């Protein structure tokens, strides 16, 4: 289902015109569809009905409390990578017993908070981290449930910045070292081995890297069993891509069937950490054209959203479709030109889209599509720009889930020297 559709020449979020949302909440503004979020979660989970599984939404992709709360109500667990994300999940009503904690640099304080909360599992990414976790847990008189994140050395065939399962990445423990680190873990008094974890990258649009990685994980699970270590769950990570333009990522159903088939008769729980696939296409960034500027080389549409609001184009050269909120009527004379869609930030890298054919006038509204994942979560205050408002549409009702930041707040914590 696409929850952002044209209706009477106006792009809608569910059944609310994006022009109405801009009028009420201003721009730039992130707009999410509750129906699209819900459907994505339900579709992802549907493939695993009848088998023991846990879907842990990757909080980093969109940490909005309203979104976390929605997923928590739908039964989701959460994949966190910091004490901050732990606090968010708990504040949003997430169940600590469904939290997995990933990340290469967990501090002792973060470990303590997670042990206190009683999380489901630590995804440990190095031998040193294991030693530290054992010590922290011992000091607290607790036993830490762990999986080792193994690096299966599989090419996820995605952008190098978001590929994580190759030998030269900082993530996980080398596949060859995993068995010996598991044996060390087994001998630690305050560590309980629960699972094996792997996550090979993001925006993966082919099935084969997931299956190759799972093959390697299953070989490890069998080797561990031969050493008397029984694994209760396999965490297959996240990474399923979405369609930004013409990509054809594996359908959830196909992914689920293939992963289940690989598992065969093994009695282990499957854990997943999808982020983008659950939120990416459920959100847009609404922006207004401030100025049109025609130079000898290019036509620029300068909009009120910028790289600080949506960093993906600047950082990864990522493509996001850009649609006019209001389609021009047939007899409209506004020329269709090829535009650079750029923001007001003082960098040439501040673009949201290159070479877009659009008929634009100043004051027009544009929707930057597929902005629900890694949009607001990577937004910054660069150029002292307040971060955008966030709105969630729920069956005709618009909820302001985060107001636009106020400029005074941006430097409220700062001090000049006496």
Nearest to 250, CA basis, from 203, 206, 201, 199:
206
Reference 148, options 98, 207, 85, 194; nearest CA is 194
* Shortest reach from residue 105's CB to ligand LLP, in Å: 12
Work out the burial of residue 367: count CB atoms within 10 Å of its CB; fewer than 13 is exposed, 13-18 middle, 19 or more buried: buried
Query: Running DSSP on this structure, what letter comes out for residue 201?
Result: B
- Which of 198, 243, 346, 398 is an active site residue? 346
Q: What whole-number distance in Å separates Cα of residue 320 and Cα of residue 65?
A: 25
Query: Smallest distance, Å, CB 217 to ligand LLP?
Result: 14
| Distance in Å, CB of 4 to ligand LLP, minimum | 19
3-state DSSP call for residue 40?
helix
- List C-alpha distances in Å: 56 to 53, 60, 72, 89, 229: 10, 12, 10, 11, 24
C-beta of 37 vs 240, nearer to ligand LLP: 240
Nearer to ligand LLP, 238 or 343 (CB): 238
Q: In the complex with ligand LLP, which residue's Cβ is closer, 328 or 354?
A: 354
Give Rg (Cα) of the chain.
23
Does the annotation count 56 as an active-site position? Answer: no
* Least Cβ distance, residue 162 to ligand LLP (angstroms): 5
Nearest-angstrom CA–CA distance, 82 and 62: 14
For the CB of residue 280, give the shortest distance to ligand LLP in the complex, in Å: 8
Helix (H) or strand (E) holding 90: helix 83-91
> What is the smallest separation between the CB atom of 205 and ligand LLP, expressed in angstroms?
11
Contacts of 125 by beta carbon, 8 Å cutoff, 6+ apart: 102, 103, 104, 148, 149, 171, 172, 173
Gap between the Cα atoms of 324 and 328, Å rounded: 9
Q: Which is nearer to ligand LLP, 46 or 361 (CB)?
A: 46
Alpha helices in 227-311 (DSSP H): 252-263, 276-279
Output the CA angle 364-67-308, nearest 5 degrees. Answer: 45
- What is the sign, positive or negative, of the torsion defined by CA atoms of 10, 14, 18, 20? positive
- Closer CB to ligand LLP, residue 31 or residue 278? 278
Q: How far apart are CA 241 and CA 274, in angstroms?
A: 9
Q: Which is nearer to ligand LLP, 106 or 312 (CB)?
A: 312
Question: Minimum Å distance from CB 32 to ligand LLP?
Answer: 16
Binding site for ligand LLP (CB under 6 A): 58, 61, 79, 102, 162, 199, 202-203, 237-240, 273-277, 312, 316, 373-374, 378
C-beta of 162 vs 181, nearer to ligand LLP: 162
Instruction: Supply the residues annotated as catalytic.
Output: 346
């Amino acid at each position: 289902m696409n929850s952002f559709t044209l209706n009477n020449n106006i792009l809608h979020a569910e059944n609310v015109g994006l022009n109405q949302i801009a009028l009420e909440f201003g721009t730039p503004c992130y707009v999410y569809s509750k129906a699209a979020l819900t459907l994505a979660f339900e579709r992802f989970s549907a493939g695993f009905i009848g088998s023991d599984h846990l879907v842990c939404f990757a909080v980093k992709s969109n940490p909005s409390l309203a979104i976390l709360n929605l997923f928590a109500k739908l039964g989701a667990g959460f994949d966190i990578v910091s004490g901050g994300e732990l606090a968010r999940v708990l504040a949003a009503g997430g169940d600590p017993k469904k939290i997995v904690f990933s990340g290469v640099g967990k501090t002792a304080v973060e470990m303590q908070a997670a042990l206190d909360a009683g999380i489901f599992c630590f995804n440990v990414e190095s031998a040193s981290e294991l030693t530290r976790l054992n010590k922290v847990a011992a000091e607290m008189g607790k036993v830490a449930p762990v999986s080792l994140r193994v690096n299966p050395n599989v090419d996820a065939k995605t952008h190098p910045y978001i590929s994580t399962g190759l030998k030269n990445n900082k993530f996980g423990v080398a596949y060859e070292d995993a068995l010996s680190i598991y044996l060390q873990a087994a001998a630690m008094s305050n560590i309980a081995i629960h699972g094996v974890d792997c996550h090979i990258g993001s925006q993966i649009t082919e099935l084969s890297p997931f299956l190759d990685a799972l093959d390697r994980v299953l070989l490890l699970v069998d080797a561990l069993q031969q050493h008397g270590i029984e694994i209760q769950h396999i965490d297959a990570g996240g990474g399923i891509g979405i369609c930004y333009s013409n990509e054809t990522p594996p359908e959830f159903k196909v992914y689920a069937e293939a992963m289940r088939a690989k598992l065969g008769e093994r009695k282990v729980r499957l854990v997943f950490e999808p982020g983008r696939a659950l939120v990416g296409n459920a959100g847009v960034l609404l922006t207004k054209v401030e100025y049109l500027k025609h130079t000898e080389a290019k036509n620029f549409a300068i909009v009120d959203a910028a790289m600080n609001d949506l960093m993906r184009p600047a950082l990864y050269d990522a493509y996001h479709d850009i649609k006019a909120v209001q389609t021009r009527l047939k007899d409209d004379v506004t020329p269709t030109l090829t535009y650079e869609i750029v923001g007001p930030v003082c960098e040439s890298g501040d673009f949201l889209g290159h070479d877009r054919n659009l008929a634009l006038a100043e004051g027009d509204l544009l929707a930057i599509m597929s902005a629900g994942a890694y949009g607001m979560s990577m937004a910054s205050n660069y150029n002292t720009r307040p971060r955008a408002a966030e709105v969630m549409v729920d069956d005709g009702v618009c909820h302001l889930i985060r107001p636009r930041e106020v400029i005074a707040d941006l430097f409220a914590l700062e001090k000049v020297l006496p």
